[in-house]
Amino acid sequence: MGFPNLVTERETSSEESSSSEDEGENIVVDDSENEEEEEEEEEEAQEEVVETKKREKKPITISLKKVCKVCKKAGHQAGFQGATYIDCPMKPCFLCKMPGHTTMTCPHRVATEHGVLPASPRNARHSVNFVFERQLRPNVPAIKPAFVVPDHVDCGVIRYHSRRVTCLEFHPTNNNILLSGDKKGQLGVWDFIKVSEKTVYSSVHTCILNNMRFSSVNHGTIYAASSDGTISCTDIETGFSESLMDLNPNGWHGPSSWRMLYGLDINAEKGLVLVADNFGFLYMLDARTNGRTGGPILIHKKGTKVVGLHINPVQPELLLSCGNDHFARLWDIRRLEAGSSICDLAHRRVVNSAYFSPQTGSKILTTSQDNRLRVWDSIFGSLDSPSREIVHSHDFNRHLTAFRAEWDPKDPSESLVVIGRYISENYNGVALHPIDFIDISNGQLVAEVMDPNITTISPVNKLHPRDDVLASGSSRSLFIWRPKDESEHVEQKVEWKILTCGKSGNNSSRKGDSDDSDDGLLGLKGKKLKRRRIQIKSSQKDQRALVL
C-alpha cells in the first residue's frame, strides 16, 4: 500500500512548493497569513484527508483552516481577490477546460487569435473550394466591410421583468420594437425609442418562455414556446393570445411526465410552426389552421431536451436542431422521421444553440457548454468536423439563461457574431462581464462591450436586423446599445432611465442611489472604459495592455 503514501507526499510537496512560489514570482494570491505553524497544521489535515479518503465526513480540523472552497484543500484559495477571480489550481482551466493551468494563464484568455483551434483535419482553403463557394455565393463582397459595433448604452435600460430575461426578438418591420420573454413566461413589448412605452403580457405562459418567433405572414403576431408545454400565438397590440398546443392537458403528474417546449421556428414557405420538447420530439403545426400536422418525431436522443430549431433562411426545407444529447443535427423536413437526419454534428457537451448564417444560410454556428463556438464554413462541403472551434467562456450553472452566439444579420460577410461572456474581467477594479463581438472567420475578438453600471452577466443578446443596435438581456434588465457617435462631443450623456414595475422598485432605487453616491468613482471609470472599449482587430496584446 505504498500508493496512498505516494499521494500524500506528492500533494504536500506540491503545496509547499506552490505556497512558496506564491510569495515570489506568482503574483496571484495567498493570504500572507499563511504562517509556518499553520502550514504544519494543514499538512496534518491533509494527511487526515488522505487517510479517510472516502470523504465520509470532513475532518473537523478542516473547518478551522482557510481552505480552498472548490477543492477543500489548504495552501491556496479560489475566489475573488478584489475584482479578479482566482481559480482553484487543482481544477482544469475554467476557460478552456484543459488541465495544467488556470484562467489567468490560459492561452485562450479573452478569445484572441489563440482561441481558435483548427479542426483536424483542417478544412484547407483550396482554390477549388473557393470557386465552389464563389458559385454558391455570387454576391459575396470581395472586401469585408468594417464591423459596426454597438458599444454604448444609449437610450434605455428597462426593468419590467420580474424574473430573468430568457429571449429577445426585434420586430421584423418596426425598427423600435423589442420583444422579450422571461423565466415566468411573461412577454414584454417595448418601444425603445419612446422609452417608457412598454407593455407586459403576463398571462401568455405560466413558466419559462424559451423561444419566440414572429409570424411570417402577420407581423403583429408572435409565436412562443414555453416550459408550460404550450405554444402561444399572441397579438402584440392587444395581448390576445391563443394556445396552439398543450402537451400537458392532464396537468401535473410529476417531472417525469411533464413536457416542456424549447426549440421553435417557422417555415414561412409551408406555413409551418415547428417546436421541440424536452423528450427529444419535434412537432409541426399548420400556421393557418393552427392544427398539428402529423405526430411527434424523435429528432434527438429520447428523453433529452431539444433546445434549438432553425430553418435555413435560403432553403426552408433544411432544418437545424440542437440539444442536450451533445448534437446539432441537420434535417430535410420533407423527409422527416426518427433517424433520418442528413448530418449529425457532434459536440463535447450540451449544445445551447445552432444557427445557419442569416443571409446565405450556408454556414453553421453553434454554442456549446464546453466553452467553444464552432463554425462550419459551408454546409455544402464536408461537415465531418467544424472548420473552426473558438474557445470562449460561456458555460454556466444556475440562474443564467443559456448563452447563445448570435449572428449579425446585417453583416454581408457573415462573420460577425455576438455572445455574452461568463467569466468576469477586472476592469479598473470592477469585475465586469463583457459582451463579446467575435469574428468567426478567424476567431478574433473584435470588441468587448461593457458598462460599469452593468455588473450582471448578459447571456441574452440580439443584433438589430437593420440598425446598428444591440439589445441585451441581463438578469431582469434589458439594455439597448448603439455605437457612440463620435461627432457629438456631448458630456457623458448617458441617461440611465431605469424603468421598473412591480417589486423590483427597491433595487432600482438602490441602483440610483449608488450612481449618485459613487459619482466620481463610477463616472471616471465609465469614461475610461468607454474610451477604450473598441479595439478593432490589430493587436490583441495592446488591448490587453490597455485593459490592465
Partner DNA sequence: ACGCCATGATTCC
Partner DNA sequence: TGGAATCCCTGGCG
Binding site for DNA (CB under 7 A): 69-70, 78-80, 85, 87-88, 91-92, 94, 103, 164, 208, 227, 305, 324, 326, 349-350, 369, 396-400, 422-424, 431, 433, 455-457, 474-476, 503-504, 506-507
Which residues make beta-bridge pairs with 371?
none
Which residues make beta-bridge pairs with 118?
388
Nearer to DNA, 20 or 517 (CB): 517
Nearer to DNA, 95 or 273 (CB): 95
Closest separation in Å from C-beta 198 to DNA: 17
Distance CA 460, CA 404 (A): 7
Closest separation in Å from C-beta 496 to DNA: 16
Closest separation in Å from C-beta 78 to DNA: 5
Closest separation in Å from C-beta 239 to DNA: 24
Closest separation in Å from C-beta 91 to DNA: 3
Nearer to DNA, 442 or 455 (CB): 455
Q: Which three cell numbers, joined as nine digits, stand for 278? A: 424536452
Closest separation in Å from C-beta 164 to DNA: 6
Nearer to DNA, 270 or 349 (CB): 349
CA distances from 254 to 250, 257, 258 (A): 11, 6, 6
**How many CB atoms within 10 Å of residue 185?**
24
Nearer to DNA, 171 or 404 (CB): 404
Residue pair 210/264 in contact (Cβ under 8 Å)? The answer is yes
Question: Long-range contacts: 506-512, Cβ < 8 Å, 24+?
Answer: 507/159, 508/159, 511/453
Closest separation in Å from C-beta 476 to DNA: 4
Q: Which three cell numbers, joined as nine digits, stand for 493? A: 450623456
CA distances from 210 to 108, 171, 228, 373, 418 (A): 31, 17, 10, 21, 19
Nearer to DNA, 80 or 130 (CB): 80
Distance CA 441, CA 458 (A): 24
Nearer to DNA, 315 or 455 (CB): 455
Which residues make beta-bridge pairs with 222?
214, 234
Distance CA 547, CA 541 (A): 10
- Order of strands across the sheet that contains 197-201: 165-170, 177-182, 187-191, 197-201
Nearer to DNA, 399 or 531 (CB): 399
Distance CA 129, CA 343 (A): 20
Q: Is 75 in a helix, a strand, or coil?
A: coil
**How many CB atoms within 10 Å of residue 72?**
14
Phi, psi of 151 (to 5 degrees): -135, 5
Distance CA 181, CA 262 (A): 13
Residue pair 434/448 in contact (Cβ under 8 Å)? The answer is yes
Query: For residue 152, which of 494, 536, 496, 488 has the smallest C-alpha distance?
Result: 494
Closest separation in Å from C-beta 507 to DNA: 6
Closest separation in Å from C-beta 87 to DNA: 5
Nearer to DNA, 208 or 534 (CB): 208
**How much of the chain is in helix, strand and coil states, percent to nearest 5?**
20, 30, 50
Closest separation in Å from C-beta 225 to DNA: 13
Nearer to DNA, 293 or 517 (CB): 517
